[in-house]
Amino acid sequence: MLLSILAFFLLPAAASAALIAYHGGPRSWRSYDGSARSSLPAAANHPEARVLVFAGRTRGWKGAVALHSWVVIKPANAAEWRRYDVVGWGGNPVRTNWWGPDIWFGERPTVVLDVKGTAADALIPRMEAAIKNYRYAQDGDYRIWPGPNSNTFVASVLRAVPEVGVSLPPNAVGRDFRPLPYAGLTDSGTGVEANLWGVFGVKIGWVEGVEFNLCGLVAGIDLREPAVKIPGFGRIGIASQSATAAPAPL
């Protein structure tokens, strides 16, 4: 058992940290390319509804094992993109449009979900209701580990629309946080899950694949779109088909 823990959880996390060190160490949130601009079209030039979920590697050493995720929503004919994040500093942790819709410290994030047109129209009311009713929206509610954090927030929004059939990347630490022990259906409704506060758990499902959670680090396999899930590196394998349409070019 100890060898399995070492092989599947600790060694990949250590290797990810070593790669960051090899490339000069972690980048501070203070140092990024401020000239980067969104690759999404201006909202006025994109009349159809659209919803997206993005994820980008966090700053500092925690980036060796963790991502930050956020939600972007644009109703049909809306004049602007609306970005929703949860952050851990000062006041209400739920922030709107604190940065460009697909900008993350000067880098391009990974697209987790991209839905357009009438399908997006049907999702938006439920996603916005989940954002409005997010239970950890008070000053002091944020907790970096095991949650509730930014990934807890996005996971709660995705639970409101299980038909989109996506799961946050396995290195989105905090996505599995729940305030109480949980046993039941996975977020997509396509499998079963047992979870202790997002610290220990197991999932088996069509969308989620097979996942084992140890202290927030996730290892497993993707069954639907074959891939392995490794702490620190996330998902390695066939690209998710739910993310192929975004972002749109200038």
Kind plus residue range of the DSSP H or E element containing 5? helix 2-5
Q: Cα separation of 40 and 222, whole Å?
A: 29
pLDDT of residue 25: 76
In a domain, 249, yes or no: no
In angstroms, the Cα distances linking 240 to 45, 99, 149, 152, 169 are 27, 26, 24, 21, 10
Q: Give residue 46's Cα distance to chain centre.
A: 24
In a domain, 250, yes or no: no
In a domain, 17, yes or no: yes
Q: Cα 131–120–124 angle (5° rounding)? A: 25
Q: Cα separation of 202 and 249, whole Å?
A: 38
In a domain, 21, yes or no: yes
In a domain, 13, yes or no: yes
Q: How many domains does the chain have?
A: 1
Q: Which residue has the tokens 């060694």?
A: 11
In a domain, 51, yes or no: yes
Q: Cα 83–89–94 angle (5° rounding)? A: 30
pLDDT of residue 32: 65
Q: Which residues of the chain have pLDDT under 70?
A: 28-36, 241-250
Q: Name the residue among 41, 35, 39, 67 with its Cα closest to residue 54.
A: 67
In a domain, 172, yes or no: yes
In angstroms, the Cα distances linking 194 to 1, 11, 164 are 20, 25, 22
pLDDT of residue 242: 60
Count other Cβ atoms within 10 Å, centred on residue 119. Answer: 13
**Amino acid residing at 11:** L
In a domain, 248, yes or no: no
Strands of 82-86's sheet, edge to edge?
94-96, 82-86, 67-74, 50-57, 110-116
pLDDT of residue 182: 97
Per-residue pLDDT of 33-78, as tens digits, reads: 666 678 888 998 989 999 999 999 998 888 899 999 999 999 999 9
Which residues form the domain of 128?
A: 2-243
